[in-house]
Amino acid sequence: MALQQDGTSQASQDDAIVGGSATKLPRTDGGRDAWLFLVGCFVFEALVWGFPFSYGVFETYYLSKLPFSKHPNGIAMIGTFACGGMYLVAPLTLYILEQWPSIRRSSSVFGLVVILTALVAASFSTQVWHLILTQGCLYAIGGSFLYAPTMFYLDEWFILRKGLAFGIMWAGVGTAGVIFPFILTSLFNAYGFATTLRMWAIAMLILCAPLIYLVKPRLPVSSPPLPHQPVSYAFLTTRTHVFLQLCNILEGLGFFLPAIYLPSYAKYLRLPTIASSVLLATLNIFSGLGSIVLGFLCDRLHVTIVITISTLGATLSVFLFWGLATTLPFLVVFAATYSFFAGGFSAIWSGMMKEVQRASRHAKMGALMGLFAAGRGIGAVLSGPISEVLLRRDDFNGNGHGGEAKFGYQTKYGVLIIFTGVSALFGLLCFDAKRRDA
């Protein structure tokens, strides 16, 4: 692991000793094996993350259908707990898998079982808090254990192109988000939410089970296992980590809100029914493109430059496009620009990890990835209750619908738009990370 993080030459990693004999290893950063592995990771991410990232379709359904529409408080938390929970559980899962590499394959099996249990249990829900526990929290735990091993495998397969590889892998989420909203909407209309969730569980089993077998590590697990090495968290107090983590958390406070609220915003504006699926699809496809581009830039530019590009693009798109948008074409422009610049922020973690490792040589990938994911999760989980408070407060103004509004700022969502834009702007805190510790 340390050899890869330091960028040691390929020649020194071509052979491994397994059971006392030398074994030829596939090359890193390219070649048939590496790219096939990355395709597998792309599909894995699409399946695990694409479902909660399509939550806007669920929210629109739950808000308009009994029994959930009768007591709607907490509906937004289902989606933020599903996404944010996977981020928050990441430090634990990545720590366990970094300390015990031999259980990484078993972790994916365990995670898949938990996800299937969550989906089936959610299908029997009759109250919002049932969905928060199952479709939100339980799904998040299962998803984290299911996909976490791929983080370590990718770190073995890609060294010099690590940012690009992470970007391509996370683009799977955006690609799924183009397809899943339309599928879920059709299933809801035809079968209702309970049957849809059970059908989705069957699909996850059929598609994920082969991937658990096919997505493999590049390096063989040592036999017998190497003794456990303590994980150093000395990097926590470095200026580099503190400010990169701050911009990661604060930017995450508003990041998930467009995906959650654009469908209900479109309904509030009395736009055509198809508008919700179109907006979610646009958000997700441009998020995938943004992940690839920002990940590629992280391999070539200092991470503060990449974060600045992401921050300014996201902030301007919120204030200029969403704030002024009350028609579908304008909302599509916002969804495309915002998701391109903000949606790929997770791909920047590869550059953030690189900078922290320069400041603290003993920082390991698992610990860093886990904490950056947790920071993102804090923002995601808090955004649910914060957004509900903001919307309830604005409801007192008596805005029943936005059919007459000329700008987004004039609607009940105006305060949410401002909050999202201000949150995105906090990415500029990255400049304080560039100054080294004394």
Q: Sorting pLDDT into bands at 50, 70 and 90, what band is 1?
A: very low
Residue 438 belongs to some domain of the structure: no
pLDDT one-digit tens code per residue, 115-160: 999 999 999 998 889 999 999 999 999 999 998 999 889 888 898 8
Residue 35 belongs to some domain of the structure: yes
**pLDDT given at position 421:** 93
Which of residues 320 and 274 earns the better pLDDT score? Answer: 320
**Whole domain around residue 321: which residue ranges?**
27-220+230-433
Residue 18 belongs to some domain of the structure: no
Average of per-residue pLDDT across 363-382: 86
Average of per-residue pLDDT across 320-332: 90
Find tokens 């299911």 and name the residue: 146
pTM of the model: 0.78
CATH number at residue 333: 1.20.1250.20
Residue 326 belongs to some domain of the structure: yes
Compute the distance between CA of residue 377 and CA of residue 152 in angstroms, rounded to an integer: 20
Residue 9 belongs to some domain of the structure: no
Report, in this order, helix, strand and coil percent for the chain, each rounded to 5. Answer: 75, 0, 20
pLDDT one-digit tens code per residue, 52-103: 888 878 887 888 877 877 777 788 788 878 888 888 898 999 989 988 888 8
Residue 5 belongs to some domain of the structure: no
Amino acid at the residue 148: A
Residue 353 belongs to some domain of the structure: yes
Q: Where are the alpha helices (DSSP H) in 299-406?
A: 303-317, 328-342, 349-359, 365-395
Q: Sorting pLDDT into bands at 50, 70 and 90, what band is 395?
A: low
Exposure string for 185-224, b = 16+ CB within 10 A, e = fewer: bebbeeeebeebbbebbeebeeebeebbeebbbbbeeeee
Q: Sorting pLDDT into bands at 50, 70 and 90, what band is 33?
A: confident
Q: Sorting pLDDT into bands at 50, 70 and 90, what band is 366?
A: confident
Strand 15-18 with 21-24, pairing:
antiparallel
Residue 15 belongs to some domain of the structure: no
Domain count, the chain: 1
pLDDT one-digit tens code per residue, 184-217: 888 988 998 899 999 999 999 999 998 888 888 8
Q: Sorting pLDDT into bands at 50, 70 and 90, what band is 398?
A: very low
Average of per-residue pLDDT across 159-186: 86
227's CB contacts (< 8 A; 6+ apart) are none
- pLDDT above 70 covers a percentage of the chain that reads 88
